[in-house]
């Protein structure tokens, strides 16, 4: 009886893992201005500025810049009302060209930038915030982000003996965007009658007659 021939099987090709041959994608790291602002304390402060003659005005911009790279800075500017309201406005930016910052510095300081030491800049900002909070005034909402450019409270000594308020009490000077009636009403509640002063535009005196 004839033997059956064994079927010849073709050798199987080894299985290939296509996924293993493909290079793994590198993780994408997005480092925009917000990233550098959030990590601002990791970069050294290269300068602080205030407005020339700030002591007499009761209101001054405070600018602080940090060296992000040889040609880029992280900076913040705070509009400080150290007579009454604390931080009235705030702005910050990062990944910002150094030359452009230097060009715009005069504008940030209302046309009259004056170099100050970092201790004074921090004492002005934090001291104004603390003083305003005694009377119910919180910093401008943008201060939350801009404050990341500052060093933490307590790092810089308060050695300038700054006076907040005027003659030992709040002095509110109404600006064009202030709700003057609401602010004076709050001072009535928090400071008490006779424990604060205010100045409004000439046309507003009749509106505030009941506060006299």
Asked if 146 and 185 sit in the same domain, the reply is no
Q: Tell me the pTM.
A: 0.81
Asked if 149 and 184 sit in the same domain, the reply is no
Q: Are the CB atoms for 122 and 151 separated by under 8 Å?
A: yes
pLDDT in tens, 101-139: 999 999 999 888 999 999 999 999 999 999 999 999 999
Asked if 86 and 141 sit in the same domain, the reply is yes
Do you know the residue count of the chain? 212
Cα 175 off chain centre by: 21
Asked if 126 and 40 sit in the same domain, the reply is yes
Asked if 49 and 138 sit in the same domain, the reply is yes
Q: Is the dihedral of CA 189, 179, 175, 104 positive or negative?
A: positive
Structural domain of 210:
166-212
pLDDT in tens, 167-207: 989 999 999 899 999 999 999 999 999 999 999 875 554 45
Asked if 197 and 122 sit in the same domain, the reply is no
Q: How many domains does the chain have?
A: 2
Asked if 126 and 69 sit in the same domain, the reply is yes
């Amino acid at each position: 009886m004839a033997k059956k021939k064994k079927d010849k099987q073709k050798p199987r090709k080894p299985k290939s893992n296509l996924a293993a041959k493909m290079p793994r994608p590198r993780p994408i790291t997005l480092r925009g201005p917000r990233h550098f602002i959030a990590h601002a304390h990791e970069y050294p402060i290269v300068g602080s500025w205030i407005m020339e003659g700030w002591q007499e005005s009761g209101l001054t911009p405070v600018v602080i810049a940090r060296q992000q790279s040889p040609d880029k800075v992280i900076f913040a500017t705070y509009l400080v009302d150290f007579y009454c309201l604390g931080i009235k406005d705030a702005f910050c930016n990062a990944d910002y060209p150094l030359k452009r910052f230097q060009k715009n510095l005069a504008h940030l300081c209302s046309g009259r930038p004056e170099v100050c030491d970092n201790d004074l800049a921090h004492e002005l900002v934090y001291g104004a915030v603390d003083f305003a909070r005694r009377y119910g005034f919180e910093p401008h909402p943008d201060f939350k982000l801009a404050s990341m450019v500052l060093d933490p409270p307590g790092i810089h000594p308060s050695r300038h003996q700054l006076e907040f308020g005027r003659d030992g009490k709040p002095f509110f000077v109404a600006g064009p965007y202030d709700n003057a009636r609401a602010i004076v009403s709050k001072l009535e509640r928090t400071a008490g009658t006779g424990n604060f002063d205010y100045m409004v535009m000439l046309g507003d005196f009749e509106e505030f007659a009941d506060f006299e």
